[in-house]
Structure 1
Amino acid sequence: MSQRADTALAPDPVAQTPDRGPKHVAIIMDGNGRWAQARGRPRLFGHHAGAKRVREVVECCPALGVKYLTIFAFSTENWKRTQVEVAGLMSLFRRYISKEMKALSQRNVRVRFIGDRVRLDKKLVGLMDQLEQETSCNDGTHLTIALNYGGRDEVARATKRLARDVAEGRLNPDDVDEETLPKYLDTHVLPDPDLVIRTSGEARISNFLLWQSAYAEYEFIDTLWPDFSAEELKRLCDAYGQRDRRFGAVKP
């Protein structure tokens, strides 16, 4: 398990091969609660520690050649947690957006949110809209935050929009193919992820980017998210660059 240094570990750009590395990395940030409990602290303490990891990872993306970073912040299933934890997470999201808005803009980061906003409180949604607007002209790292997101829910919502267009005559059902549905997904402006990382030792995808990750490479690592570092991301990107990706084909 990697141990977090007190200061950010900047990846060595000389040692990188960005052209072979992933352009879009998606991360299931798991293990915050267990990290806190192992230290005798409440689960929310771990979530706050995990939020700090996000900044380090975003900052190291340009040196690694990672143009797109998508992080799983809160799933549609996370509402099943205690009211105290859910309320604490919502407060953390509001605080994170307010605190990081200026820094993200200054670092030329473009921020988007995916997921169903209907259930989120109006103040949080307002901050999400503001952050997206403030960073809309940035063309550096594209940071996508999945908030109240579920892969099945996303596909269901996309299918409803597609069906509505068919019913209203804007789309011919005979023209619907596997290239059509992605245009209705929350991620329609993003490329599919090349590499999906899940921390904390769990080996499941937990309803994350189900359609988009059909040909993604996966890394399931033991590191708890608050211990994840730029150095570990560098190692995983290097490993990705060594993989032989054939997308179902066979080399001649």
Structure 2
Amino acid sequence: MKVGFIIIGVQKGGTTALFDYLSEDPAIALSRAKETHFFDDESIDWEQPDYERYHAQFDADSEGLRGEATPIYIYWPGCLERIAAYNPAMRLILILRDPVERAWSHWRMEYARGAEARPFSWCIRQGRGRLLDAEPWGYHREFSYVERGYYGEQVERLFAVFPREQVLILKSDDLKAAPDDVLTEISRFLGVPSRAPVVPREVHVGRNMDYGENLEAEDVAFLRRLYARDMARLKDLTGVTFG
């Protein structure tokens, strides 16, 4: 049985909380681990991919609609095309968070786990140059604090690969404020029965530690300027706005 839906992003946008909610739905059969990282695996021969390796990440005897959540898929090059080749009818869920808040949360995560040692203000300015030395060029799994927030560009690419009726775009603030409403919308989108009310929760909040700095107003203003044109594109494509 093929996977029927994927939560494709965004990182630090509430995908873990959403996966946690959906894990309680008897109509849905999720992957054993939240992030399968199948379609962003550059070691796979994408001319002849072994989908059995993908299916092995799901319980063979589980019933319900199969789904997973790997939030790098909306950002990483080639993922959307690989997903379409696997299942052209795939339903995709994209949950978005204010890109400035997302970038700050992303930096805190990488700093907390030791992957990042430089301050946020440097990372969103000079630090972007590190992506020019990455492979593939211009993309980075850890240091893409700014780049992952260009939602308009990513959604435009998404709509070029998948019909809009196969895409559901949500906001993380809505999931946090009214999870039952969002989950009802997801059930309708996926074509599964509506579920019982849930207990609101937050999952994977930032580690309580000294990060050495706070999110400064000048950094917020800098990022707002960077994102302004892309946010206008996102609004035109989806009606979604931030900031």
For the criterion TM > 0.5, the same-fold answer is: no
TM-score interval for Structure 1 and Structure 2 normalised by the shorter chain: under 0.3
Greater RCO (Cα-Cα under 8 Å, separation 6 or more): 1
TM-score, with structure 1 as normaliser: 0.26
